[in-house]
Chains A and B, each alone.
Chain A
Amino acid sequence: MRIPCPCCGPRDRREFTYYGASDYLDRPAEGADLEAWDNYLHLRDNPAGVTRDLWYHDPCQAWLEVTRNTVTHEILSAHPVSEVSA
């Protein structure tokens, strides 16, 4: 598996650390109700197909949102989370 780091180009998955679904980017605002937190932390889709998740490229320290297909294993894109959430 190779992930195209926007900084470094395509790199072997050994260089990356997985975090979880990109839902983690949608952090509830301060004072959000408990259900919002529960959804944010625990409620996940498990798609057969296109999914977005978060990977850390350890060598360059960039957090990436990777769009990939869980069926074909195709990596569709990788963007820095700093741009995704900006």
Chain B
Amino acid sequence: MADLISQPALTGLPVTLGRATVAALDPGRVTSIAPYPGRDLSTALAPLRFPAPGEVVSNGSIRLVWAGREMAFLLGAPAPDLTGLAAVTDQSDGWVWVSLEGDDAAAVLARLSPLDLRPASFAPGTAARSTLNHLPALIIRTSETRFELASFRSMAGTLKEELHHAMQAVAARAAL
């Protein structure tokens, strides 16, 4: 009989270098929700609502995060019944998640992403799709100094390496 043990996408975290820490993050259940054209999901999603581009809509620990064109990720709770309203796909295993936190978190991210990370352009409580070097990324900013990063699970090792290199360089500059 099969006896399947779950394996994490990443090991060896957290890592702190200088003023930035990268740590594993468990967003809980992740479900992509993509509404069909013209559907009203407000009742089905209440008290959440479908986010506008870049928006993160929260209800306690449950979040509905904009994740691309006409798509959002529901984090932390199973999806409600959206039959006939939206395509619903489990994404819990497709992504690796980490948090990046600290006074130099934005400086570290600026080594990897072409995003404008100034708080006026990328405000705490919002999300963006971008790239981290060559990796696809969903980036959620939870505060000026904390980000949640998600990338393809198979690239977890590269994500960790890239973050490590960037953190090391930023820490070495800070130590000058």
CB atoms of A and B under 8 A apart anywhere in the complex?
A: yes
* Contact surface of A with B, Cβ cutoff 8 Å: 7-9, 11-12, 14-15, 58-62, 80
A14/B114 contact (C-beta < 8 A), A59-B68, A61-B69, A62-B69 known? yes
Q: Let me know if A60 and B114 touch, CB within 8 A.
A: no
Report the bound CA distance from A6 to B37 in whole Å.
18
A58 touches B53 (CB 8 A): no
Question: Which residues of chain B come closer than 8 Å to A15, judged between CB atoms?
Answer: 114, 130-131
**Contact residues in A for B129 (Cβ distance below 8 Å):** 8, 59-60
B157 located at the interface, meaning its Cβ lies under 8 Å from any Cβ of chain A in the complex? no
Q: How far is the CB of B96 from chain A (nearest CB, A)?
A: 17
Measured CB to CB, the nearest residue on chain B to A10 is B116
Q: List the count of A-B residue pairs having beta carbons below 8 Å apart.
A: 38
A8-B128, A15-B130, A15-B131 given; A58·B114 CB < 8 A:
no
Could you tell me if B131 and A14 are in contact, using CB atoms closer than 8 angstroms? Answer: yes
- A59 contact set on B, CB distance < 8 A: 68, 128-131, 136-137
- B residues contacting the other copy or chain, number (CB 8 A): 14
CB distance from A82 to the nearest CB of B (A): 9
Name the distance in Å between A16's Cβ and chain B's nearest Cβ: 11
Report the bound CA distance from A7 to B127 in whole Å. Answer: 12
Q: Is the CB of A58 within 8 A of B136?
A: yes
A80 / chain B contacts, CB cutoff of 8 Å: 69
4 additional contacts (CB under 8 A) given A9-B121, A60-B129, A80-B69: A8-B53, A9-B116, A59-B68, A61-B68
Nearest-Cβ distance from residue A14 to partner chain B, whole angstroms = 6
CA distance A11 to B69 in the complex (A): 15
Which residue from chain A places its CB closest to the CB of B134 in the assembled complex? A14
